[in-house]
Structure 1
Amino acid sequence: MGCRYKLQDNKTKTSQNRATTSRYHPYASSSNRNCGETSRNTELHERCIPAEKEDEEKKKIIMEKVDNMSLEQLRDKVKEAAHVIPDHLFPFFDSESSSTLPRPSWCSCGNCEIMEDVRMNTCCRTTPCITSKPEFKNLCLRHDVIEVANILNWSHQTNQDADFSNKTFRNQAYRNFILWQHGKMGSGKRKPLPACTYVAIRATFPSNEYSGYHSAFSDSE
């Protein structure tokens, strides 16, 4: 009898120990949702701050230099830049640039433009605009992030060396945006991006021509 009671007592203690430890899991205990650690979005924002400050400082220096240049010096600098970054400069000299066009009535973020395909004429409807978020800048506008994603995508799909044209980088930026906002959609499923995101991505990776939105089984441009 004594052994039986002792065995039952041991079982009871074991059950109690399981009850007190069953809720613990190494991953769950370290998850951001279960502790007071900084969220991923906050981390991304904080990582952007130094780069944004550096960009602002560079802009300030450029503006000061431009203000102190003569017209002839300014022309020479623009010509030098045209040899190095023609794709980035061309939109500023395009007589049909859409930057002079008024904002469409369906835009509420203030950064949309009328696109060549009506299916692309949608707004993110966020305040501030989604293109100002650090996540968007990191995933869709950073050259190094797009380049790595592009290499992985090409090696996975074609087993070939990646193409580093602005068109390819734009398409990869579109894929990154969809994955960020909607997750993996699967083969044959597509969704147009907000017009403001097209504007921001095209400004970062410009070309002379854009072919618009393709519904499925093809690149966006």
Structure 2
Amino acid sequence: MRMCAGKLTQRLKMEEEISSSATPSPERRLRPRQQRGVEMSDTSSTSSPVRRGAVRGRGRGRPAGRRGARGGRGGGRGQRGGHIGDVAAAALQDRQRNLRARIEEMSDTSRKELLMKTGDKHPSLLLDLIDQEAPQGGFHPVPGGESPSWCSCLMCRDMPTQIERICCGRPPNQCQSQLPDFQLLILDELVLTIAQIYRQDVLALPQDEDYNKGKRYAAYRQFILWHHGRLGVGVRRIIPSCCTWAIRDKYPNQYGQYIGFIPSRLG
């Protein structure tokens, strides 16, 4: 009996040791989870462990402060040189200076050849320049005179009809005809030439034979488009006196004959 009891006791001890070795301890059960969490969440280029979903940025892949780094549109525009009209006016002055410098560098023979080529291409322009010293007829008041009573910008001149006697409404020394945008969009030869080519191409019109007349009418259309936008059929607007005479001074008629404003028949 004693031997049987001893064997039973030894067997029970052996079963307890086997069961204890097969069941992992709480510490051993936690280690694989901790290691697995580090391996699955470490997706960055750094070696520090980061848990998945622990950090949520404002945008995926966007660095902090990106919106502030772009800055506003207006700030960059001012840094590039100010108002676009002033930049364009400076460019026009540079172009005129370069043209004068190139003409000064030419010989007398080259200048004569240039005049002959200009006369062949634009005879009306050359004739207007040759006859510019002749007395003007018609109605073309010279600039620098006394402005009418209905003028506020001090740049207007008298007009032949009452309906045309309007001013731009701006204060003195701020006349609309003196703005850099006006000098570029309304009076510049290259801008008017592009407008003429576009109009002739769309409407299938012939080229203007009278250089000054073509540029003058193109400047009228440019002003209406710039100041009023696209008008409907039969809708007409009066150009202020100051702007009208600025256009006519740049592209005058040899005899001072101008049609003036014609009201629409549609009312």
TM-score (norm 1): 0.63
Structure 2 equivalent of residue 38 of structure 1: 81
Q: Distance in 2 between matches of 1:151 and 1:47?
A: 23
Q: Distance in 2 between matches of 1:197 and 1:110?
A: 12
Q: Distance in 1 between matches of 2:130 and 2:179?
A: 22
- Residue-by-residue CA offset, 1:119-162 (whole Å, 9 max, x unaligned): 32112224243323332222222222211111112212x13443
Contact map agreement 2:89 2:184 (CA 8 A) in 1: no
Q: Distance in 2 between matches of 1:123 and 1:43?
A: 27
- Residue-by-residue CA offset, 1:85-126 (whole Å, 9 max, x unaligned): 337745850255422874311123332112233232112224
Identity %: 23
* 2:57 aligns with one of 13, 24, 31: 13
Query: Does residue 259 of structure 2 align to residue 211 of structure 1?
Result: yes
Q: Distance in 2 between matches of 1:19 and 1:215?
A: 63
Deviation at 1:217, TM superposition (A): 8.7
Deviation at 1:199, TM superposition (A): 0.7
Query: Does residue 141 of structure 2 align to residue 98 of structure 1?
Result: yes
Structure 2 equivalent of residue 167 of structure 1: 213
Q: Highest CA radius of gyration, 1 or 2?
A: 2
**Structure 1: any 5+ residue segments left out of the alignment?**
62-81
Where do residues 47-58 of structure 1 align in structure 2 (5 Å cutoff)? 47-51=91-95
* 2:175 aligns with one of 129, 132, 143: 129
Q: Distance in 2 between matches of 1:159 and 1:171?
A: 17
Structure that is richer in helix per residue:
1
- Residue-by-residue CA offset, 1:61-97 (whole Å, 9 max, x unaligned): 9xxxxxxxxxxxxxxxxxxxx9933377458502554
Deviation at 1:18, TM superposition (A): 6.6
* Equivalent residue pairs, number: 188
**Structure 2: any 5+ residue segments left out of the alignment?**
1-36, 41-50, 105-123
Where do residues 53-132 of structure 1 align in structure 2 (5 Å cutoff)? 84-86=126-128, 89=131, 93-95=135-137, 97-99=140-142, 102-124=146-168, 125-126=170-171, 127-132=173-178
TM-score (norm 2): 0.54
